[in-house]
Chain A
Amino acid sequence: MSKREDEGCHRKRKTEAGPKSEDCVNPNSAVIAAFKVFQQELDTKHDKYERLVKISRDITIESKRTIFLLHRVTSVPDVEEILNEADVKLDSVRQKIGQIAEELKGEDLHQFHRAFTPGIQEYVEAVSFHHFIKHRSLISLEEINARLVFMRENNKGEAEVAWTGPSVLTFHITPTDYLLGVADLTGELMRMCISSVGNGDIDTPFQLSGFLREIHDGFSYIGNTGPYEVSKKLHTLRQSLGKVEDACYTLRVRGSEIPKHMLADVFTSRAAAHLDPDDTMV
C-alpha cells in the first residue's frame, strides 16, 4: 500500500515537473503529431495480433478435441460414425481458419505468423490424423490447402466496401507448419498403436510401424536443413518410432504364445520397461 502511495507521489512530482518541459514541448508540434500516428499504427497492429492469438487458441482446443475423438476409433465398432463426427468438428475449425484468412487479407502472412502458428500446427495434426485413419496414407500439403478456400459472404462485404460478387479467400499453410504438424502426428500414431493392441487389434500396429518408418525416413532426409524446431521434434519422433517398433517386436515374438486377452498386459509392461532407460539416456 505504502509502495503504491509512494509511486503516486512520484508520478505527481513528475507531472509537476511537466509544465516546465511543456513550455518547450508544444503539444501540437510535428513530433507529437507524428507519434500520434505511430500510436495508431502500433495499436492497430497489436489488436490484430491479439485477435489472431485468440483464434489460434480456439483452433488448438478444437483440434485437440478432435484428436481425442479420433482416438476412440480403436475401441468402437462403427468407425464411420466417428470419422463423420470428426469431420464436422474439423469443419468448424476450418471456419476459424477462415477468420484468420480474413484478418490477414491484404497483410503479410509472415508478419503475424507467430500469432497463429500453434493453432495451425494443431490443425495439421488433427486433419492428417483423420486422413490417416480414413485412407492409411499421409495427407499432402496441397490437399490440406485445397480445403482452406473460403467464400466470403456478399452482405458482409457490402457493409465495408462495395464488393462485386463473393470474393474468394484462401489460406496457405506454410511447409514448415505442415512439417511440424506431421511431426506431432507421429506422437498420436504411437498412442493409437498402443491402444489398438489393448483392444486385441494385431494388424494396426504393423501398419503403423511401416507408416511411421516412412515418415521417419522423410524427416531424416530433411535432416538439419529444416528450421530449428524440426530437428528438435526429430528426437521425439525417434522415441515414438522406437516404441512402436518394440511393440511390433513383442507382438511377433510372443503374440502366438499368449492368449489374446492377456496380450495387452504383457505389452504395456514391456513398453513401460523400455521407456525408462530411454528417458534416462536423454
Chain B
Amino acid sequence: MSVTEMFSYIQGFLSADQDIREDIRKVVQVLEQTAREILTVLQSVHQPSGFKDIPSKCLKARELFCTVRNHTGELKTKFPVEQYYRYHEHWRFVLQRLAFLAAFVVYLESESLVTREEVAQILAIEVDREKGFHLDVEDYLAGVLILASELSRLAVNSVTAGDYGRPLRISNFINELDSGFRLLNLKNDPLRKRYDGLKYDVKKIEEVVYDLSIRGLAKEQEAGGEK
C-alpha cells in the first residue's frame, strides 16, 4: 500500500468519525434544551409559593422526561453501541445533568436517594455496559453530587418559606450521602473535585439546622407542626 493510499484511507476514517460526532452533537443539543426546561420547572420549588405544589411540579417534570426518553432513544442510533466511550465526552455533561434532575424529582417525591437503576429507567437507558447505552457509574455519582448542592439551597429556602422541618430531613439525607461517598476511593479526577465540594454543602445545611435548633424552631416543628 502506498503512502498516499494509506493516508486517504485514514482520511476516510477521520471524516466518518467527524460525521458521527456531528450527529451526536445535534441530539445532545436537543437533550440539553429539554434538561434546561426540566430544571426551570423544578427551580420553582425554591419560591415560597412553590412549596405547596411540589407534587404537581414533579408530575410536570416526569412528563418532560418522556421527551428525554425519545431523545436518548435517538442518540442510541447514532453510533455503534460498543463504541460508547469513544464519544462519551459528548453526552457526559448532559447525562450528569439528567441524572441530577431525575434524582431531584425522586427526592422531592419520596425524600429518598434515587438508585442507579431508577435513573436508568427514567432515562430509558441501561445500567450494564453489556446491554447497550448505559449510565456510567461516575456520571450517576456526579449527578448525585449536584443534587447535594441543590438540596443545601433548598434547605435555606425552605426556612425562608416557613417550612422548618425540611432542613432536618435534608440534613439526615446529606449526611447519609456523605458517609456513602466516604466509602469511595476516588482518584484525582473530575468526580473527586466535585466530591470535595460536598463538605461545603454539608456545612451549609448544618448551619441551617443549628440556626433552627438554637431558636427552638426545629423542635416546635417536630412536636406539633404549629408555628
Contact, CB under 8 Å: B4 / A218: yes
Q: Which residues on A sit within 8 Å (CB–CB) of B180?
A: 31-32, 34-35
Size of interface on A: residues with Cβ below 8 Å to B: 41
Binary CB contact string for chain A from 13 to 51 against chain B (1 if under 8 A, 0 otherwise): 000000001001100011110111011011100100000
Contact, CB under 8 Å: B9 / A141: yes
| B150-178 interface with A by 8 A CB criterion | 172, 175-177
Contact, CB under 8 Å: A32 / B185: no
Interface of B is mostly: helix
* Given A31-B177, A108-B84, A42 contacting B137 (CB threshold 8 A): yes
A-B pairs, top 9 by smallest CB distance, nearest first, are A218-B7, A35-B180, A110-B85, A110-B86, A111-B85, A214-B3, A140-B1, A24-B172, A21-B175
CB distance from B188 to the nearest CB of A (A): 11
Contact, CB under 8 Å: A225 / B18: yes
Report if B14 contacts A (CB, 8 A). yes
| B75-129 interface with A by 8 A CB criterion | 82-86, 88, 113, 115-116, 129
Report if A77 contacts B (CB, 8 A). no
Q: Which residues on B sit within 8 Å (CB–CB) of A46?
A: 185, 187
* Given A38-B141, A110-B85, A140-B1, A178 contacting B185 (CB threshold 8 A): no
Contact, CB under 8 Å: B85 / A178: no
Contact, CB under 8 Å: B141 / A25: no
CB distance from B112 to the nearest CB of A (A): 8
Q: How far is the CA of A256 from the CA of B219 in the complex (A)?
A: 101
Q: Which residues on B sit within 8 Å (CB–CB) of A140?
A: 1, 6
Contact, CB under 8 Å: B85 / A225: no
Name the residue of chain B whose CB is nearest to the CB of A42.
B184
